[in-house]
Amino acid sequence: MAARKKSGRRAKRPSSNAGKSGGARSKGVIARDKKVISTSYTRGQPVVIDRGSGARLWDVDGKGYLDFTAGIAVSNVGHANPDVVRAVKAQADKILHNAGTDFYNELEVKLAEKLVKITPGREQRVFFTNSGTESVECAFKLARWKTGRSRFISFFNSFHGRTYASMTLSGSKTIHRNHFGPLVPGVVHVPYAYCYRCPFGHEDGKGCGMECLSYIEDTLLKTTLPADEVAGVFFEPVQGEGGYVVPPKRFLTGLRKICRDNGFLMIADEIQTGFGRSGKWFASQHFGIKPDIMCLAKGIAGGMPLGACVAHKDIMQWPPGAHASTFSGNPVSCAASLASISYIERHKLMENAARLGRMGLKYMKDVKEDCRHVGDVRGLGLMIGVEMVKDKRSREPAPDRQKMAIMEAFRKGLLLLYGGKSTIRIAPPLVIGREEFQDGLETLAGVLKGMK
Strand partners, 64: 58
Q: What is the pLDDT of residue 203?
A: 83
* Interval 307-321 mean pLDDT: 97
pLDDT at 5 over 80: no
* Interval 339-343 mean pLDDT: 99
Task: Give the separation between CA 136 and CA 307, rounded to whole angstroms.
Answer: 10
- pTM: predicted TM-score of the whole model, two decimal places: 0.94
pLDDT at 406 over 70: yes
**What confidence tens digit (pLDDT) does each residue in 45-63 have?**
999 999 999 999 999 999 9
Apex 244 CA angle, 241 and 245, nearest 5: 110
DSSP 414: E
Whole-number mean pLDDT of the chain?
A: 95
Determine the residue type at 105: N
Give all domains of the chain, ordered by start, each with its CATH number: 24-80+348-449 (3.90.1150.10), 98-329 (3.40.640.10)
**What confidence tens digit (pLDDT) does each residue in 165-221 have?**
999 999 999 999 999 999 999 999 999 999 999 999 998 778 899 999 999 999 999
Task: Give the separation between CA 227 and CA 252, rounded to whole angstroms.
Answer: 19
φ, ψ for residue 65, nearest 5 deg:
-140, 145
* Interval 316-337 mean pLDDT: 97
Pairing assessment for the beta strands 124-129 and 307-312 based on DSSP bridges: antiparallel
Query: What are the DSSP calls for 273-294, one per residue?
Result: TTTTTTSSSSGGGGGT---SEE
The candidate with the shortest Cα–Cα distance to 140, out of 269, 239, 240, is 269
Q: CB under 8 Å to 334, separation ≥6 — which residues?
A: 91, 105, 107, 108, 110, 111, 128, 301, 306
The candidate with the shortest Cα–Cα distance to 175, out of 162, 185, 190, 166, is 162
Q: What percent of the chain has pLDDT over 90?
A: 92
Cβ(280)–Cβ(55) under 8 Å?
A: no
Task: Give the separation between CA 338 and CA 118, rounded to whole angstroms.
Answer: 12
